């Protein structure tokens, strides 16, 4: 039966228990403990061998007896501490007995751990009960030895006088030996059975109540103690923590922030974990006590460094996961809860230790510390530096000069001299004596890469901060990495050098640091040469080089649909003749790829294809300008698409998509690419057309995407091709008669929108009569089909159908001649379809419906199309104007509600985010509706007024709302005719409300937004009425200071005299009528402005008469 901790404590508190266990029994247990350990060992051997052996004691039984010995120890220590025990036999050494007994228990626990526990989950629950029971006793014994006040239930300690008590104990040699034994036993139990221990109750208590206090002992304050024993205790404590770090649940219990509450939105509210702070600070304090540590104790420093950088790595991973849970809020990890001053101390400490020549060749050789045998002391310093950089990137901007060579000019690249200043560059470049080991070089490369990622180079280049010094340091990094790539044989080191090259190419702003362009291109060329050397030698270490080269080609699609640009060094390298060797090698060997390798994710063949895909998308001119490469590429596409493997066919379609996308950019930007005419688009078409009829929906979707990338010059031929691809794409949009897959239908709508938009935008530059007629018919068919697809049951299809309609409508508005196309469109019906889906349950559909409605209304109300409308359509269009204005105003009002009513608002972050986007679209869409003549129809009064008032509220709440919403509202309000404001004003003037809202925010907004508001103010103060000004003056948020500011603004912006006079007269009717001086300022300025205007008019009249006299013919012969 397992003894619980509470039972033991109860027995210990029994005063009569001192006589129930005589001293003879204690001595007997000490003599029999070794035999008992042998029996347990034999029994464990029996469990492993599954053989019956006579005379062995049952494991549960033997462990039960052993823990009776633990009970005796518990009893002995308890009463010894109280002074109840008087040892009759003075020759018997109680301390030696205790040490011997614990050593035997330690031995037994190790046997159980190695044979049954094994570091995994314990299957023998009864044995685990004994182990956990012993674990709690050991914790309690150490805490009693450390003189910690103990709560019987939770074993919590009080930090009062803690350091003094620990220091007193460490002055005693016997006390140190006891702590040593107990800590080793704790480590043994944790190594064998730590997985099954409870994270907070067991592991957290062990680390917080025992291990960290032992690590917090200040070595410099100890006198007359055995230094090595104390350092051994602290090393054992840190090794025990490293064992705990093997299990994620335990490391999180120690280092993760503590969750206080979970908000209704699902976001966790946390507070700093005090144990995390104490643990990391205790290790930093141990590093600061290095003056106490001699050279032969470097193993202690290594152990401290390892425990510290493992802790920092776990903290980084935890904070990174917390950042991801918050959907990327914040730009950097800053939740480490450790003062940045202490991070600065680590930077300085590592730099100082790297300069100690005594540590350069110090290899740890210690039988006690097997885990350190494979690394040098310097490796631990550099590894710690890497972890600190990742966790504290903001500190790197201050301390990077410690680890990079400093110079105001670029040094010569032809010779590398040895230096006594140990930096990351000197370690990478073998510029120190003795030479760094390979593992030191690898970790130095990693640290350099982390530095490059952390440094705010973009910010520095804009401010010109230390321009020459930064450029010189980066130059030396690039040169050293290039030199190492040329001579390096280690595949691991080559991988790290390639990843460093990627950070250099993608992170440095080469448009400012232009001197680094050519060295960076040389570095990228060397990465390509590594690939070629491995390819020709038949090596398999190609993955890193291929991955890095693909990442340096740009052409990756971002979430907003754009492509990442081609880095400048990559462009410089690809334009060199040297790059041809690499490019030809890739295109020659790509045809020999085996199908089974291509279909394997992460294989070398797939990495090659990823590289080619990036290249043909970003720098497709390297394919088009070379006939052999182009032929190889087309052949490769044919091979893939003709394959029986669906994944290979999909790869072929993706290659074509990338090529067409790259070809589009070349046509738009390049001036002379004659070889582009050699591209046989019919060959590409024959590859794609069968994919529209594939069974696999992903293949059909990819083929549709490819058709959306075709240019207008391609469609000149494809529109008249028999069969035309559009004849297959149009029916695919419809739910019941088209494609059964919703994703395919959505992509079909998107592709049609791209195709028609591309053709309509380019058609104005060229004149093809037959093509124009054909294109108009296709455009009308496309709009009508997408209008039907808007009723699809799949939200993605509805969204893409509206998206296509909006793009086509926007392209129509930019055409010079509209009449021939407009009379074929049923714009009123299309607008009603878009308006209907403003009420859709899907937020993306709502957003596209708002955008599309705005473009359609721009054509409907502001073009000549309305003249050809039938009477019933005219009435429908007038009614639509008011209804659309009312609903769009409500959309804007929802976004305003989200920022003004934060207390009772229960809407999720996702809902509020969509509301912001939709409000921005609504502000833009209203410009087409409110600027039209139908906006002044009486039937539209309520809708137009609501829209105007909501946009004015956007100006009023400009400090809280999203900038895009406010900018859109101000722009639309500036376009609305003044008479529209007056027509829809009731008791209060809408124009006056707008002036007041502008005036309230004009003093506080930024300069760019202030210009927009000033234009809106000028728009309303051209010819204001007394009702307009009176409504403005009666606004609740307006003060006398605002009126003073209005006067100054009107003077600075040269407002007409009639406006000054109107304000002055209206002030007499407002509650400012008692301020005579204020009224007089406006009236005086009005008179002065009128005199100036009359004088200017008279001057121009006289000048005109004078000019007429000069031009008379009276003096002509």
Q: Look at residue 696 and tell me whether its pLDDT is greater than 80.
A: yes
Burial class (CB in 10 A: 0-12, 13-18, 19+), 735: middle
Q: In the predicted model, what is the mean pLDDT of residues 1103-1112? A: 50
Q: In the predicted model, what is the mean pLDDT of residues 633-655? A: 84
**Which of 139-148, 263-272, 533-542, 664-673 has the weakest average pLDDT?**
664-673
Q: Does an H or E element contain 204, and which?
A: none
Q: Look at residue 1046 and tell me whether its pLDDT is greater than 50.
A: yes
Q: Look at residue 427 and tell me whether its pLDDT is greater than 50.
A: yes
The CA-atom distances, in angstroms, between 1017 and each of 996, 1020, 1024, 1042 are 9, 5, 11, 14
Quick one: pLDDT band at residue 441, thresholds 50, 70, 90? very high
Q: Return the percentage of the chain with pLDDT > 70, whole number.
A: 70
More confident residue, 221 or 821: 821
Q: In the predicted model, what is the mean pLDDT of residues 953-961? A: 88
Q: Look at residue 755 and tell me whether its pLDDT is greater than 70.
A: yes
Q: Look at residue 631 and tell me whether its pLDDT is greater than 70.
A: yes
> What are the tens digits of pLDDT across the range 505-534?
999 999 888 889 999 999 999 998 888 887
> What are the tens digits of pLDDT across the range 256-312?
888 777 665 566 777 888 888 888 888 888 887 765 556 667 788 888 999 999 999
Q: How far apart are CA 62 and CA 636, in angstroms?
A: 72
Quick one: pLDDT band at residue 130, thresholds 50, 70, 90? low
Beta strands in 68-147 (DSSP E): none
Which segment, 39-43, 83-87, 652-656, 949-953, is predicted with the most confidence on average? Answer: 949-953
Q: What is the pLDDT of residue 21?
A: 45
Q: What is the pLDDT of residue 211?
A: 85
Strand-pairing partners, residue 271, are: 258
Q: What is the pLDDT of residue 561?
A: 67
Q: What is the dihedral of CA 16, 17, 18, 21, to 10 degrees?
A: 130
Q: What is the pLDDT of residue 569?
A: 92
Q: What is the pLDDT of residue 389?
A: 92
pTM, full prediction: 0.73
Q: What is the pLDDT of residue 610?
A: 80
Q: What is the pLDDT of residue 174?
A: 65
> What are the tens digits of pLDDT across the range 73-99?
555 555 554 454 444 343 344 445 555
**Average pLDDT, whole number, for the chain?**
76
Q: What is the pLDDT of residue 518?
A: 92
Quick one: pLDDT band at residue 799, thresholds 50, 70, 90? very high
Q: What is the pLDDT of residue 593?
A: 59
Any idea how long the chain is?
A: 1117
More confident residue, 241 or 609: 241
496-500 contact pairs (CB < 8 A, 24+): 496/442, 496/445, 496/446, 496/449, 497/445, 498/527, 498/530, 498/544, 498/545, 498/547, 498/548, 499/445, 499/449, 499/544, 499/548, 500/445, 500/448, 500/449, 500/452
Q: What is the pLDDT of residue 818?
A: 60
What lies within 8 Å, CB to CB, of 872 at 6+ separation is none
> What are the tens digits of pLDDT across the range 380-415?
999 999 999 998 888 888 888 889 887 655 555 544
> What are the tens digits of pLDDT across the range 460-473?
877 766 778 888 88
Instruction: Transcribe 623-661 into DSSP letters.
Output: HHT-HHHHHHHHHHHHHHHTSS-HHHHHHHHHHHHHHHH
Q: In the predicted model, what is the mean pLDDT of residues 620-633? A: 76
Quick one: pLDDT band at residue 643, thresholds 50, 70, 90? confident
What six digits make up the tokens of 697?
């929906």
Q: What is the pLDDT of residue 127?
A: 53
> What are the tens digits of pLDDT across the range 902-950?
777 777 888 888 899 999 999 999 998 998 888 888 888 899 999 999 9
Q: What is the pLDDT of residue 669?
A: 41
Q: What is the pLDDT of residue 335?
A: 44
3-state secondary structure at position 441? helix
Q: What is the pLDDT of residue 524?
A: 92
Contact 175, 166 (CB under 8 A): no
Q: Look at residue 177 and tell me whether its pLDDT is greater than 90.
A: no
Quick one: pLDDT band at residue 752, thresholds 50, 70, 90? very high
Q: Look at residue 850 and tell me whether its pLDDT is greater than 90.
A: yes
């Amino acid at each position: 039966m397992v003894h619980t901790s509470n039972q033991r404590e109860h027995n210990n508190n029994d005063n009569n228990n001192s006589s129930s266990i005589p001293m003879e029994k204690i001595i007997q247990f000490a003599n029999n403990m070794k035999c008992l350990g042998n029996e347990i060992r034999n029994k464990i051997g029996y469990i492993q061998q599954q053989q019956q052996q006579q005379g062995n004691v049952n494991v549960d039984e033997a462990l039960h007896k052993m823990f009776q010995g633990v009970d005796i120890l518990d009893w002995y220590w308890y009463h010894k501490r109280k002074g109840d025990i008087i040892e009759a036999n003075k020759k018997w050494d109680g301390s030696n007995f205790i040490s011997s007994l614990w050593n035997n228990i330690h031995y037994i626990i190790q046997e159980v751990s190695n044979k049954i526990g094994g570091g995994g989950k314990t299957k023998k629950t009864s044995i685990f009960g004994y182990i956990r029971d012993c674990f709690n006793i050991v914790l309690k014994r150490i805490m009693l030895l450390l003189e910690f006040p103990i709560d019987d239930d939770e074993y919590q300690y009080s930090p009062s006088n803690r350091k003094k008590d620990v220091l007193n104990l460490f002055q005693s040699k016997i006390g140190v030996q006891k702590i040593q034994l107990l800590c080793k036993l704790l480590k043994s139990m944790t190594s064998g059975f730590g997985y099954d221990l409870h994270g907070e109750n067991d592991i957290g208590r062990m680390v917080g109540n025992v291990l960290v206090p032992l690590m917090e002992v200040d070595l410099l304050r100890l006198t007359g103690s055995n230094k090595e024993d104390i350092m051994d205790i602290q090393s054992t404590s840190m090794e025990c923590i490293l064992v705990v770090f093997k299990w994620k649940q335990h490391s999180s219990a120690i280092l993760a922030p503590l969750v206080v509450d979970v908000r209704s939105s699902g976001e966790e509210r946390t507070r700093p974990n005090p144990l995390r702070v104490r643990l990391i600070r205790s290790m930093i304090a141990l590093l600061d006590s290095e003056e106490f540590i001699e050279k032969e104790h470097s193993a202690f420093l290594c152990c401290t460094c390892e425990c510290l950088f493992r802790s920092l790595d776990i903290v980084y991973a935890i904070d990174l996961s917390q950042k991801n849970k918050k959907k990327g809020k914040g730009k950097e990890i800053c939740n480490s809860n450790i003062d940045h001053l202490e991070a600065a101390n680590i930077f300085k400490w590592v730099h100082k230790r790297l300069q100690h020549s005594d540590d350069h060749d110090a290899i740890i050789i210690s039988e006690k510390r097997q885990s350190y045998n494979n690394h040098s002391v310097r490796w631990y310093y550099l590894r710690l530096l890497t972890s600190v950089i990742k966790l504290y990137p903001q500190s790197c901007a201050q301390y990077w000069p410690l680890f990079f060579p400093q110079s105001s000019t670029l040094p010569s690249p032809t010779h590398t001299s040895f230096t006594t200043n140990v930096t990351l560059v000197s370690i990478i470049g073998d510029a120190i004596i003795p030479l760094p080991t390979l593992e030191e070089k690898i970790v130095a490369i990693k640290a350099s890469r982390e530095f490059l990622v952390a440094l705010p180079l973009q910010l520095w280049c804009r401010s010109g901060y230390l321009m020459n010094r930064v450029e010189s340091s980066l130059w030396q990094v690039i040169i050293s990495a290039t030199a190492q790539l040329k001579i390096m044989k280690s595949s691991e080191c080559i991988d790290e050098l390639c990843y460093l090259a990627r950070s250099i190419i993608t992170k440095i702003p080469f448009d400012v640091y232009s001197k680094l362009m050519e060295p960076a291109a040389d570095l990228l060329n060397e990465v390509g040469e590594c690939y070629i050397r491995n390819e020709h030698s038949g090596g398999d270490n190609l993955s890193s080089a291929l991955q890095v080269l693909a990442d340096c080609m740009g052409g990756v699609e971002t979430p907003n649909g754009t492509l990442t640009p081609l880095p400048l060094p990559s462009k410089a390298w690809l334009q060199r003749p040297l790059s041809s060797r690499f490019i030809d090698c890739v295109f020659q060997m790509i045809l020999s790829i085996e199908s089974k390798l291509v279909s394997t994710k992460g294989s070398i063949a797939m990495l090659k294809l990823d590289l080619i895909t990036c290249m043909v998308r970003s720098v497709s001119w390297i394919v088009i300008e070379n006939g052999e490469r182009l032929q190889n590429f087309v052949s490769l596409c044919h091979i893939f698409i003709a394959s029986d493997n669906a994944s290979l066919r999909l790869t072929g379609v993706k290659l074509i998509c990338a090529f067409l996308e790259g070809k589009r950019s070349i046509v738009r930007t390049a001036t002379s690419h004659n070889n582009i005419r050699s591209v046989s688009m019919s060959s590409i078409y024959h590859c794609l057309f069968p994919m529209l009829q594939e069974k696999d929906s992903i293949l059909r979707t990819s083929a549709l995407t490819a058709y959306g990338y075709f240019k207008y010059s391609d469609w000149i031929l494809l529109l008249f091709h028999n069969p035309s691809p559009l004849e297959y794409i149009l029916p695919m949009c419809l739910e019941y008669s088209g494609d059964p897959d919703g994703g395919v239908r959505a992509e079909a709508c998107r592709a049609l929108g791209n195709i028609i938009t591309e053709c309509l935008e380019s058609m104005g530059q060229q004149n093809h009569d037959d093509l124009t007629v054909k294109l108009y018919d296709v455009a009308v068919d496309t709009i009508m089909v997408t209008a039907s697809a808007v009723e699809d049951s799949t939200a993605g299809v509805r969204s893409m159908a509206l998206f296509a309609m909006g793009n086509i409508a926007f392209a129509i508005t930019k055409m010079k001649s509209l009449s021939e196309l407009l009379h074929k469109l049923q714009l009123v019906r299309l607008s009603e379809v878009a308006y209907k889906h403003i009420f859709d349950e899907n937020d993306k559909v709502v957003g596209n419906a708002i955008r599309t409605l705005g473009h359609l209304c721009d054509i409907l109300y502001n073009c000549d199309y309305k003249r050809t409308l039938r009477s019933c359509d005219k009435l429908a269009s007038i009614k639509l104007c008011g209804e659309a204005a009312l609903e769009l105003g409500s959309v804007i009002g929802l976004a305003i509600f989200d920022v003004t009513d934060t207390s009772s608002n229960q809407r999720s972050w996702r809902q509020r985010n969509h509301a912001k986007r939709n409000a921005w679209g609504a502000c833009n869409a209203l410009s087409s509706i409110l600027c039209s003549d139908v906006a002044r129809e009486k039937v539209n009064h309520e809708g137009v007024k609501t829209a105007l008032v909501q946009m004015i509220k956007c100006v009023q709440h400009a400090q809280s709302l999203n900038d895009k919403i406010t900018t859109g509202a101000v722009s639309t309000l500036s376009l609305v005719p003044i008479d529209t404001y007056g027509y829809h004003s009731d008791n209060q003037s809408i124009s006056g409300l707008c002036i007041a809202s502008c005036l309230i925010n004009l003093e506080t907004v930024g300069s760019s937004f202030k210009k927009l508001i000033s234009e809106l103010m000028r728009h309303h103060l051209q010819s204001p009425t007394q009702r307009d000004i009176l409504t403005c003056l009666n606004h609740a948020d307006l003060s006398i200071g605002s009126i003073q500011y209005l006067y100054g603004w009107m003077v600075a912006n040269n407002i007409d005299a009639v406006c000054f006079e109107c304000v002055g007269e209206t002030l007499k009717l407002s509650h400012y009528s008692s301020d005579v001086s204020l009224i007089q300022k406006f009236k005086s300025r009005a008179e002065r402005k009128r005199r100036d205007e009359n004088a200017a008019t008279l001057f121009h009249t006289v000048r005109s008469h004078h000019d007429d006299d000069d031009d008379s013919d009276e003096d002509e012969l």
